[in-house]
Amino acid sequence: MTGDWEAWLDFFAEAVIVTATQAVETAQQLLDLSNQDRYKISGLGRAAASTLQVHRALMEHPIGTSGSLVQKTGITPATVNKALGHLERLGIVKELTAQKRNRLFSYAGYIEIMSRGTELPGR
């Protein structure tokens, strides 16, 4: 078996470096987003503690229903819904379904960061 092993190893090493660099950049962007959003939430006063819990749950799963967030946080449905309302007004969360029940919420900034570079060409 013959081949240009050095060129192949150079190519492979470069690919690993590029991928690792992108992963570090993405992690830093997510950390910056989280810090900015937590700062906005901290200005809510009494509602900040429960809203921060919902925010933390959305960082783990950036799309969810109020029911799934109740399960993840252990907070009452009424409090989760109020927290989602606060997050929506702050521009952190978007409601995706425009329904009265079984609404789906998205941590939009998080999803945008995670999907960078995955767009189809020409879009």
Domain ranges of the chain: 5-115
Q: Are 72 and 57 in contact (CB under 8 A)?
A: yes
3-state DSSP assignment of residue 82: helix
Would you tell me which CATH number, out of the four given (3.40.220.10, 1.10.4190.10, 1.10.10.10, 3.40.50.170), belongs to the domain 5-115?
1.10.10.10
| Confidence label for 123 from pLDDT (cuts 50, 70 and 90) | low
pTM of the predicted structure, to 2 decimals? 0.80
Q: Is the pLDDT of residue 121 over 90?
A: no
Q: What is the rounded average pLDDT of the residues 71-80?
A: 96
Cα 74 from Cα 80, distance rounded (Å): 9
What mean pLDDT value characterizes the chain? 90
53 compared with 120, residue with greater pLDDT: 53
Which residue's structure tokens are 């190893």? Answer: 9
Q: 105: which strand partners?
A: 64, 95
Kindly state the average pLDDT of the residues 11-30. Answer: 90
* High-pLDDT (> 90) share of the chain, %: 71
